[in-house]
Amino acid sequence: MSAGNAERFKSVVSAILGVSPQEVSDDLTPDSVDTWDSLNQINLIGALEQEFGVTLAAQNLGDYMTVALLKKLLVEHGVEL
Amino acid sequence: MREHGMGEAAKMDLARANALLDEVNRQPTLARIATAARELVGHARDLAPVALRLACTSSYTFDPIKPALQLQGLRAGFALETYVGPYGQFDRELIDPASGLAQFSPQVVVLAVRLADVCPAIYESFNSLSESEGRGLLDDWFSRLESALRTFRQRSDAHVFVTDYDLPAAPALGLADRSATFSQEALIRGANDRLRQLAASMSNVHVLDYDALVARHGRATWSDRRMALYARIPVSAANYWSFAGFLVRHLRPLYGLTRKVLVLDADNTLWGGVLGDVGLDGIALGPDYPGSAFTAFQRRVLDLYHRGIVLCIASKNEPGTVQEALEKHPNMVLRPRHFAAMRVNWEPKPKNLQELADDLNLGIDSFVFMDDSDVECELMRQTLPQVLTITLPKEPAEYAAVVEALDCFDQWKISSEDRKRGELYRAEAGRKQLAAAAVDMPTFYRQLEMKVALRVNDTSQVARAAQMTNRTNQFNMHTIRYAEDDVRKFMSDSGSEVVTLALSDRFGDNGVVGLAVIRKKPHEWVLHQFLMSCRILGRTVEKAFIAWIAGRAKVAGAKELVGEFVPTAKNKPFSGFYASCGFLPGEPEGAVQRMVLSLASADVTLPDWITLEVETGLEHT
């Protein structure tokens, strides 16, 4: 289950940022990917919400995010990763 | 880190692009939209016939909608080059000649302003407003809007789409809003009426019913309040796709991308069951389910017929059986007279559709094909990807809804020509029989008893003339799309004239089927636009039209008649038309090929089989 979720997570991040799924690692941050701008930050959160059927709190939208932090946020909302 | 995309590698194939777009359309999540946009947008010019510069300026963040907009554009046939202005700066964007929007020189501008953004009190604290304060807010807004639009209009002819104002999900007075003397909903509806009046007073400004869109999807869930507050995006991510589709829907009819023909399968589409197996008495069609589902479907299709959609059948059955069912079944809604042509045989359906397109003289890209069979639909998608192929759902009760949801036939206006188009195509079948029987072409032409009515600068023809510029793709020498105001300008300008051509014959009235927009100079008359409905070609009318204009130019003292030709993907079959009328190639002007007819030697006599009647409206001296 959580292995499947990990793949889904990678595939969503890869789709929004336009990087290959293999490149989606915990180290990925807005500073390491050109396409991770404020617009795609919102798109990332929106796309992950759609994928996992969760709603994240508005205060998270503006936080500095990394792939590791996105995962942590999803886990806090009950997604097994 | 580089983006991984198709780049310039392989040329995107239309069938594959359509499959990707269908997949997004079935489940338009942000991830799917982003992936498809990355794969397809770079190939837009190869995939879509119409390139268009579209600018959006809004009172809210519009950027997130952009990928959905580009994909919906592709689905409709547009390669959109988009510009999205900084949010909230729509006044400046429209007014300032140095603004990003002005520099972009768009062909279409979407002005997406929410009343909730420019008059927030009307939405957020309505009950604290007095009536005069509420109306005052609207007055201020409309004077601001009008001045921005009028300033912009002085500089640009671009179409402007203005979204109207959505009603609140719950009015501020609750139930009492309906009976209140100062009602929030009534105030906003009044603002929408006012917006429509303002648009009607200007050229090429159109109001889009955004409120109806929001209502269709649910006022309570259209927005995601977090995103609305945090990022100023008042449309939830789940609705980006619908919003983009809504915007594109309004573009189609302005750029010749309205489809014209619906080809239907018969078994399990028009009725339940297989006619060849169960016979005429065994098919499901009538007052009770499941027959009632098919009756309901046929009624919706008949309604399409009455707005000018050409209907055809492509069915795998024994020839004659479908015709018999249409004639004899007591519960049939669609009868043989409603179909312009039928192909009932065992040939592959793509072949049949191509033949129908040739018979009707209509482009295959104006066809829609509907079938219940996945196999037939897949074959059509692979073989003729230009056709819009729709697989009917498994449940026949849903069929009617499929027709209701179609937006590919949309037009901004319906003309009387549209309403009688079905009869026109039936009359065409009679002409074909006559032609087959006639010994030679002149005999056939004389037997047709053609009457041509020409109207010069007749303002009652404005709507049809504009519509013809937007619908005609094949026999269209210059292919410039006009709004009604453009036509009016040519009519009132003493340096130009607009001539419409109506044709009738013994089989019926074809209505207005030809248009010429002429620029008159002392030395030469220029056929700036010359177009004819393909339906009536091959009866010498197009050449007679040229001869008449040439004669008129000669009488006015001109020495040359110049035809302007601009090749497009669609008008290639007619690229030799001017040459066939005796025009010789002149000096090109940019993309415009100038074909020149010397009037001294030109034959301006009309064939004896055409009876001519001329009415001049506004005559210039």
Question: Using one digit for the tens of pLDDT, what is the confidence trace for B302-342?
Answer: 999 999 999 999 999 998 999 999 999 999 999 999 999 99
Determine the distance in angstroms separating the CA of B35 from the nearest CA of chain A, rounded to an integer.
Answer: 5
Q: Is B63 on the interface with A (CB under 8 A)?
A: yes
Which chain A residues are closer than 8 Å to B227 by Cβ? Answer: 42, 46, 61
> What was the pLDDT predicted at B509?
85
CA distance B588 to B37: 38
Q: Is B27 on the interface with A (CB under 8 A)?
A: no
B432-466 pLDDT, tens digit each: 778 878 778 888 889 889 999 999 999 999 999 99
If you search the block for the tokens 């768009």, which residue do you land on? Answer: B106
Residue of A nearest to B231 (CA): A42
Q: Is B175 on the interface with A (CB under 8 A)?
A: no
Q: Is B64 on the interface with A (CB under 8 A)?
A: yes
> What was the pLDDT predicted at B492?
93
Q: Is A63 on the interface with B (CB under 8 A)?
A: no
Q: Is B1 on the interface with A (CB under 8 A)?
A: yes
Determine the distance in angstroms separating the CA of B27 from the nearest CA of chain A, rounded to an integer.
Answer: 11
DSSP letter at B609 equals T
Give the CA distances from residue B129 to residues B121, B132, B141, B186, in Å, rounded to whole numbers and listed in that order.
8, 8, 16, 14
If you search the block for the tokens 């929007």, which residue do you land on? Answer: B101
CB A12 to CB B31 under 8 A?
Answer: yes
Give the CA distances from residue B359 to residues B355, B428, B507, in Å, rounded to whole numbers and listed in that order.
6, 10, 18
Q: What is the number of structural domains in chain A?
A: 1
Within-domain flag for A81: no
Token pair of B133, please? 């304060």
Give B164's contacts (C-beta < 8 A, 6+ positions apart). Answer: B192, B195, B196, B207, B208, B209, B210, B211
Q: Which of A18, A34, A61 sits opposite B4 (nearest CB)?
A: A18
CA distance B157 to B161: 12
Give the CA distances from residue B218 to residues B214, B538, B576, in Å, rounded to whole numbers and listed in that order.
6, 52, 54
Within-domain flag for A65: yes
Within-domain flag for A45: yes
Q: Over 60: is that where the pLDDT of A1 sits?
A: no
The pTM of this model reads: 0.84
CB B237 to CB A47 under 8 A?
Answer: yes
- 3-state secondary structure at position B312: strand
Give the CA distances from residue B614 to residues A48, A73, B457, B546, B555, in Å, rounded to whole numbers and listed in that order.
67, 76, 11, 14, 15
Within-domain flag for A61: yes
Q: Are B396 and B300 a contacting pair, CB within 8 Å?
A: no
Residues of chain B with pLDDT under 50: 1-10, 621
Within-domain flag for A72: yes
Single-letter code of the amino acid located at B580: S
Phi first, then psi, for residue B614 (nearest 5°) are -120, 130
Q: Are B345 and B325 a contacting pair, CB within 8 Å?
A: no
Torsional sign, CA B195, B198, B200, B204: negative
Using a 10 angstrom Cβ sphere, with 0-12 exposed, 13-18 middle and 19 or more buried, the burial of residue B570 is middle
DSSP letter at B63 equals G
Q: Which of B31, B38, B238 sits opposite A51 (nearest CB)?
A: B31
CB A18 to CB B34 under 8 A?
Answer: yes
CATH number of A54's domain: 1.10.1200.10
DSSP letter at B594 equals E
Within-domain flag for A48: yes
Determine the distance in angstroms separating the CA of A28 from the nearest CA of chain B, rounded to an integer.
Answer: 11
CB B64 to CB A42 under 8 A?
Answer: yes
CA distance B17 to B37: 10
Q: Which of A42, A49, A57 sits opposite B231 (nearest CB)?
A: A42
Domain range for residue A49? 3-76
CA distance B316 to B424: 27
Within-domain flag for A38: yes
Determine the distance in angstroms separating the CA of A36 from the nearest CA of chain B, rounded to an integer.
Answer: 11
Q: Over 80: is that where the pLDDT of A5 sits?
A: yes
> What was the pLDDT predicted at B113?
97
> What was the pLDDT predicted at B139?
97
Residue of B nearest to A55 (CA): B226
- 3-state secondary structure at position B93: helix
Give B383's contacts (C-beta < 8 A, 6+ positions apart). Answer: B348, B350
> What was the pLDDT predicted at B11?
58
